[in-house]
Structure formats: structure tokens, C-alpha cells
Structure 1
Amino acid sequence: MTLIRMPAQMIAGDALRLAVPSGDYPASEGWTVALTLQALAGGAPVTANATEAGGDWEVVINSVTSASLAPGPYRYLIAGTKDGNRSTIEHGQIEVLPDPAKAAQDQRSAARRALDAIDAVLENRASSEDMKFTFADGRALDKIPHADLLVLRKHYARIVARENTKGRGLKRVLVRI
């Protein structure tokens, strides 16, 4: 099993460097390694080819490429390829956070944007921009029935509540009296 320290989050505009142990995928045997990021909301994937570094692999997504990533959740795949056959080394999900240095950019998380758009529709104050909102699964906000919106609102409200307490060291403690 290969140990890679893929972060759970990264900030758009920051370089991402990963060390990938060569293990079963050494360059000396003809392997190449690459990292692919695919936004859950769709769009073209971003691929970074690894370079050999001291017998292991190093994958780098530079700051320019990282700055082009839209904030939101991404699937990632680190894979080795040899003779046209791919072998998955690791896969998972990473959240790209907005660059705080870009003040004009919407700083809300994907969940917060979804919750705000749902609330606007439910409160009959949605703008045309709110109505264009599309969820990661491809459903358009203006095509979702009211009852389903209420279910989605609960879901996104829970996610936003977790985001709001994340990093504050807050825990919910239940006490029986």
C-alpha cells in the first residue's frame, strides 16, 4: 500500500506538491505516474504528470494551474500507467477553497452558495442568477420541486453548520442529567 499525503483541502492559487513512493510503479520499469483532478460540477479535468525524484515520484500542480481551479469539491486520481494499462494508486476527494487574496471572488463555500440559492427560491426572492444555480449532480435549481428543495435545504444546512464549526475546536457534548 502506497502512502500519499493528499490534503483534504487546498487553496486555489497555492502550489500542491505530492511525494508518491515508486513502490510497484518504478520509472526504471517503464511506469509513468499522473494526478488528475475532476470537479464534481463538471468541466475539463486537470492532469499533472509526475517526475522521478530520487527513485520516487513527485507530482506538482503549480500556482498558475491551481489558480484556475474553481472552488468546490473535486475527485482526484493518482495512477500509474505502463504499456497503455492504467493502475490506480490512490483516489479520493479534495475541496478547493477560494483564494482569499482575490477579494472580487465569491468567498462562500459550494454548500453555502447552494443553501443561499435554495433559500432565495423558497422565499420567492430568487434572482435570475440564483435560478441558474446547478448542483453537482447536474440538476438545475429552477427544475426541482418544492418538496425536494426542502430536503436539499436540510442537507446543505447541515453541511454549512459543520463548516461553520470546523477548525474552532468546538464539539457537541451530550450530558445526561
Structure 2
Amino acid sequence: MSMKKMVLALAVSSVVAMTAQAANQGGGKINFHGEVVDAACSIDANSLKQTVELGSVAKVALYKGGKSTPVDFTILLHNCDITDKTTTTVQFKGIAGESAEGLDKAFAVSGAAAGALGVVVTDAGGNVIAPGAKSSAFTLNDGDNELNFKAYMQGASNASSAIAPGGFTATADFLMDYQ
């Protein structure tokens, strides 16, 4: 093969290779979201939108006010500056269950298992935090802090076969109140 043909073949190969590399190989878009707040602490991004899995519980365990095993969850705080504010309470807001069924301190559920069932939130010591109520005060430390809670399913006080099997959801928004 002559030198001219080799150079020509090399040039053609290079153009073909560059064209192959220039093809779109997929992509997407990333949105960034955040918020600046005037508060004593920053809330960890993973604490802002949590899903607490309460598991699969036999409906008979929830009869007549029965409860499932509590599941731990945590709100993590970072960069706390306790110069002016040394404590915080947490308020969980949402729809309360039916008071006639003994679920007024529980969050109402929706879905197939809705009705004679609610989700109860407590502090780490087991003290119930009813929908709309504030927790006891947590003492803050400079830097990072963990606020520990528990949640469990609770059947209505008069529930028996009225508890339907199936999935459910409940929602509680939380608000920090630094003092």
C-alpha cells in the first residue's frame, strides 16, 4: 500500500471514529431545590421527606386498640448555633383519626386498610405526640443533633373484624419551633 493510500485511509478512519463518538448517547436534566431559613439549625436533606415502613402486621394484633411494634425514625439537624436558641419542639401536622374510635391522637390513614386504624407518633420515650400538638422540648447542642421518634399502627378501641387487610398511607408534616 502506498503512503498516500495509507494517509487517506487513516484520515477517513479518523472522520468515521469522530462521527461515532459525537452521537447522542443519552442524557437528562437535574433540578436542584433548597430553601434558606432563618433558624438555629439546618435540617438534613434526607430528613425532609421520609418514608417510615411500619411493616406487615396481622389485623388480629390491632383489634380493640392493639398496637404494632414501634419503628424508629429520626430528624437530623446540622450546623446548629445555640447562641440565641437552645431548645426546639417539633409539631407534626396532619389529619387526626376519629375520636369516637380512640384514634384522636393518631394520624388518619387512607387506602385499602383505612377505617379502624391510625398511625401514632411518639418521642423516643414513648410519649404520644398527637396531630397538631408539639413535642416536649429537645435540648440542642452546637453542631449536629438527632431528634428521635417512633411510629406504630394502632387499631380503633372498638375494632375487630372492621380492620380491612391491605395497604395504607398516612402523612404528617413537621414544623420546627426553636426557643
> Could you tell me the TM-score, scaled by structure 1's length?
0.32
Return the structure number with greater helix share.
Answer: 1
> Could you tell me the TM-score, scaled by structure 2's length?
0.31
Of structures 1 and 2, the one scoring higher in RCO (CA 8 A, sep 6+) is 2
Structure of greater Rg: 2
